[in-house]
Amino acid sequence: MGETRFDVLGVGNAVVDIIAETGDDFLESRGLAKGSMRLVGEDEATRLHGGMGPAIEVSGGSAANAVAGLAALGGRGCFVGKVRDDALGATFAHDIRAQGVTFATPPAASGPLTARSMVLVTPDAQRTMSTFLGAAAGLGVDDLDRAAVASSKVVYLEGYLWDAPEGPALFAAAAEAAAAAGREVAMTLSDPFCVDRHRADFLAFIRAHVDLVFANETEAMSLYETGDFAAAAGAMAEDVALAALTRGEKGSVIVSGGERRTVEAAAADVVDTTGAGDLYAAGFLHGYTQGAGLGRAARIGGLCAAEVIGHLGARPRADLRALVAKNLG
């Protein structure tokens, strides 16, 4: 299989998060379902922003968060995603490169602005997101660097990307490039509503191309249209060689054929759950691509998730490498 340039190449929406703390009443007044991510147009984004309280801006995007976390752990990360050549786009590019991630997708010189997600954090630390995809939805098959995919141990695809016009074609092209080079394909289901929008496509893609699925329990149950987690895990075992299913404070379950391994969650002081799944994937993928056992990979994932939910924003702030060394040796 030869040398690799990257441990993980992530493909996803390049988004800047605009984060404000708010009360439940604001969600109700805007008819927002707590904990969900919905897509909005630019006008609705502007209206919502106008009604929001003072905010902070932090680079985000699901796969981007995961690759940034992997780099913070010392892994070699690459990200493919589309921004516009505007101020938010420059912020996104700066932040991911400053984390040590290779990010070479050229920004769009025209068309919609860089994607932003209005993230409303309620006192229970749940986040509710309204995302204007903007330039991110313009990511095309031509933006995929197949040589970089072929030189990455794992290509990591976010389900959200399926909402972009060329998303399905991009998934297929990435899976094909990975398979041709003998690399692995990982995918996150992203969000229960995203699973709902694309269930049949997700199932077909997973069965045909995916080696490793990341999902939280709600997403896994949504995929198989069941209210029973064990049933969802069982169905997942039939469809994919390896799945890491996260269950919040109940920890995560690693599904590998007939085996189920449950790993406890790390202790956390929860401020904002945004990015929990992304950072779990970051830690898991770092352990996995370094040849750690599945249990240790899951524990690294849990530790990274615990760090990111301890503050506003979905990118790590603490030195993750030191955190892992201190807690997991």
* CA–CA dist 112, 226 (Å, integer): 38
User: In this structure, what token pair is assigned to residue 61?
Assistant: 């995007």
* Smallest distance, its own copies to C-beta of residue 226, A: 39
Cβ burial, residue 301 (10 Å; 0-12/13-18/19+): buried
Among 76, 183, 198, 315, binds its own copies (CB under 8 A): 315
Contact call for residues 314 and 274 (beta carbons, < 8 A): yes
* Smallest distance, its own copies to C-beta of residue 38, A: 21
User: In this structure, what token pair is assigned to residue 229?
Assistant: 């987690």
Is 307 among the residues that bind its own copies (CB under 8 A)?
no
Among 2, 54, 257, 329, binds its own copies (CB under 8 A): 54
Among 34, 207, 317, 326, binds its own copies (CB under 8 A): 317
* CA–CA dist 147, 19 (Å, integer): 36
Is 53 among the residues that bind its own copies (CB under 8 A)?
yes
Is 99 among the residues that bind its own copies (CB under 8 A)?
yes
Site string for its own copies, 7-26 (x = CB under 8 A): -------------xx-----
Among 91, 126, 226, 290, binds its own copies (CB under 8 A): 91
- Per-position b or e across 81-108, b if 16+ CB within 10 A of its CB: bbbbebebbebbbebbeebebbbebebb
* CA–CA dist 273, 308 (Å, integer): 8
Is 85 among the residues that bind its own copies (CB under 8 A)?
no
- Per-position b or e across 214-246, b if 16+ CB within 10 A of its CB: bbbbbbbbbbbeeeebeebbebbbeebebbbbb
Residues with Cβ within 8 Å of residue 326, at least 6 apart in sequence: none
Is 301 among the residues that bind its own copies (CB under 8 A)?
no
Taking CB under 8 A as the binding criterion, the range among 49-57, 187-195, 292-300, 301-309 that sits at the site for its own copies is 49-57
Taking CB under 8 A as the binding criterion, the range among 138-146, 159-167, 254-262, 307-315 that sits at the site for its own copies is 307-315
Judged by CB, which is closer to its own copies: 91, or 290?
91
Is 293 among the residues that bind its own copies (CB under 8 A)?
no
Is 58 among the residues that bind its own copies (CB under 8 A)?
yes
Residues with Cβ within 8 Å of residue 186, at least 6 apart in sequence: 8, 154, 155, 156, 157, 210, 211, 212, 213, 214, 281, 285
The residue with tokens 């493909």 is 11
Among 4, 13, 59, 216, binds its own copies (CB under 8 A): 59
Residues with Cβ within 8 Å of residue 299, at least 6 apart in sequence: 263, 266, 287, 328
Among 37, 40, 73, 96, binds its own copies (CB under 8 A): 96
Taking CB under 8 A as the binding criterion, the range among 5-13, 83-91, 161-169, 275-283 that sits at the site for its own copies is 83-91
Among 24, 85, 86, 166, binds its own copies (CB under 8 A): 86
- Comparing C-alpha atoms, which of 246, 253, 64 is closest to residue 156? 64
Taking CB under 8 A as the binding criterion, the range among 154-162, 183-191, 298-306, 308-316 that sits at the site for its own copies is 308-316
- Comparing C-alpha atoms, which of 264, 298, 263, 266 is closest to residue 283? 298
Is 80 among the residues that bind its own copies (CB under 8 A)?
no
What are residue 59's phi and psi, to 5 degrees? Answer: -60, 145
Among 57, 225, 249, 259, binds its own copies (CB under 8 A): 57
Which residues make up the interface to its own copies (CB under 8 A)? 20-21, 49-50, 52-59, 68, 86-88, 91, 94-96, 98-99, 311, 313, 315, 317
